[in-house]
Amino acid sequence: MKKHNFNAGPSILPREVIEKTAQAVLDFNGSGLSILEISHRAKDFQPVVDEAIELFKELLNIPEGYSVIFLGGGASLQFCMIPFNFLEKKAAYLNTGVWANKAMKEAKGFGETIEVASSKSANYTFVPKDYVIPTDADYFHITTNNTIYGTEILTDIDSPVPLIADMSSDIFSRPMDVSKYAMIYGGAQKNLAPAGLTFVIVKDELLGKVSRYIPTMLNYTTHIENGSMFNTPPVLPIYSALENLRLLKAQGGLVEVEKNNIAKANLLYNEIDRNPLFVGTAAVEDRSRMNICFVMAPGFESLEADFQKLANERGMVGIKGHRSVGGFRASTYNALPIESVQALVDCMKDFEQLHK
């Protein structure tokens, strides 16, 4: 049976990327060695890092004056690295979900931390609007896509202070204006590569401004100056990222990627809105294209387990909602084909017919 992978992360990767990575595990670049056993300083591997960085810059149209580095530790390590490197007096955070809240919690250990706005009281079902960013903040931090609650910031906002964004789950899903950001970061295990790799895009001129001592490994300048090679980087995920970036370029870049993501999201949201058995949980204007969250409609709650069972029988994987929300979550990352979304829609329609 064909599997339809809606896992929220680690998530679906293009089959072509998986196959090329698997081949590199057996024999990297015709060297007779596995990529798992070569030195990260080997002459064959340096071009992998160099090309991956160049494709980052090309696909995202990153301006001059920014560095791209590859680290470990996931986005969670960045929650403390960011205030270590940027927070001198005050930081501002937009609280749109669990991960935004965790990032803000870490910053509180480094200085005054302001929650500019929050949607926590509504279980993070919308993205706050009409908030005021304090102009004396060292930076303003946002989480652009909220995987658990299915909301997304789809515009590159204007900020009067340096803007820092966690884009773990929507990087490379649309074109964007990198020049509006001081830093963009994320774990790679959604649209980019397997778990274990963290990417950072940072504006060079903003580094080195804080007065505190920054431990060597937590200092962005360390990794920029050493080309992501200060310590052993996550070699295999970087290689997978390269293959994925090559594929994104071959597919026509992020303009084409965004068209596909809009089509997939519209297909599923239209069915959620049409089908009387289901209801979306996120505010319509803030709906995520990457993580589509829905529950059984009022009066049909008792059918949740039955729908889950039918979906499982039809090869749907990973659609169970996060434990803190319940219901269902279909993650429609770049690599998910629209045929899988159609299969889920067909499943929802058939379930409706069974329970008319």
62-72 core/surface letters (b: 16 or more CB in 10 A; e: else) = beeebbbbbbe
> From the candidates 20, 138, 170, 190, which is the catalytic residue?
190
C-alpha to C-alpha distances, 242 to 25, 35, 57, 213, 334, nearest whole angstrom: 14, 13, 12, 34, 15
Which has the closest alpha carbon to 15: 2, 34, 26, 28? 2
240-255 core/surface letters (b: 16 or more CB in 10 A; e: else) = bbbbbbbbbeeeebbe
Instruction: Identify how many contiguous H helices and E strands the chain contains and give both numbers.
Output: 9, 14
Q: Is 166 a catalytic residue?
A: yes
Q: Is 99 a catalytic residue?
A: yes
> Residue 31 is encoded by which pair of tokens?
């060297």
Judge contact between 277 and 295, C-beta under 8 A: no
> From the candidates 20, 99, 203, 286, which is the catalytic residue?
99
Judge contact between 295 and 278, C-beta under 8 A: yes
Q: Is 170 a catalytic residue?
A: no
HSE, side-chain direction, 13 A CA sphere, residue 262: 9
- CA gap 240, 10 in Å, rounded: 13
Question: Torsion over CA of 80, 119, 165 and 74, rounded to 10 degrees?
Answer: 50
- CA gap 233, 193 in Å, rounded: 14
**Angle, CA of 121, 142 and 65, to the nearest 5°:** 175
> From the candidates 166, 203, 286, 320, which is the catalytic residue?
166
Helix, strand, coil percentages for the chain (3-state, nearest 5): 40, 15, 45
Q: Which residue has the tokens 């629209």?
A: 338
Q: Which residue has the tokens 């160099």?
A: 50
Judge contact between 267 and 341, C-beta under 8 A: yes
Please report which helix (H) or strand (E) contains residue 263, including its range.
helix 254-274
Name the residues annotated as catalytic.
Answer: 99, 166, 190
